Chain A
Amino acid sequence: QVTLKESGPVLVKPTETLTLTCTVSGFSLSNARMGVSWIRQPPGKALEWLAHIFSNDEKSYSTSLKSRLTISKDTSKSQVVLTMTNMDPVDTATYYCARIHRVDTFGGVIDYFDYWGQGTLVTVSS
């Protein structure tokens, strides 16, 4: 049974650094066909992709937030960590982690998010 669970502070102050942890079970972060992504959703708004990481340490970041984000993983702990610096009230959102499933198709390799965590609401306020 695949599960992902986000953990971290519910409240951060402006200018602080946010650190979120995604703890996974039911699959290994060393699996070459799996990755983990972070996505956020401000209240009442759309989903926004933040970053992802794969077993070979392949990483990718949202262009607009790249300078503020760092993603890493601890395979032995089955955890993926996202840090976001210089938090602002506009960063108030529910933050999700999701498993990326990588598969081979006729057209080549495709990735999609097949399991999601429940999400954690982070509020940025002084």
Chain B
Amino acid sequence: QPVLTQPPSTSASLGASVTLTCTLSSGFDFYKVDWYQQRPGKGPRFVMRVGTGGIVGAKGDGIPDRFSVSGSGLNRLLTINNIQEEDESDYYCGADHGTGSNFVWVFGGGTRLTVL
């Protein structure tokens, strides 16, 4: 099954842009990943799915246009433009992996975004 690696933390200034990275383990180049946002004290929220060709399907409800994704090789990126205070959250990537009758879902360790 894939392993998803995320840096533990990053920061960005109000109004700036930031790119969060989720790296798939070797051999899983064609996997799509899902991005989730978790604000402090809240449940997670689906952001969008990304493959090597970019967004797959629709964004989650209420996700602003400032959020976009891209993918290349083993990296699946979430970019936030014009960062707002409400973007300060933990961001997780996740993926499902199935072989035959055995399915698992895995998450990266999450990246905490601090807005300065």
A binds B: no
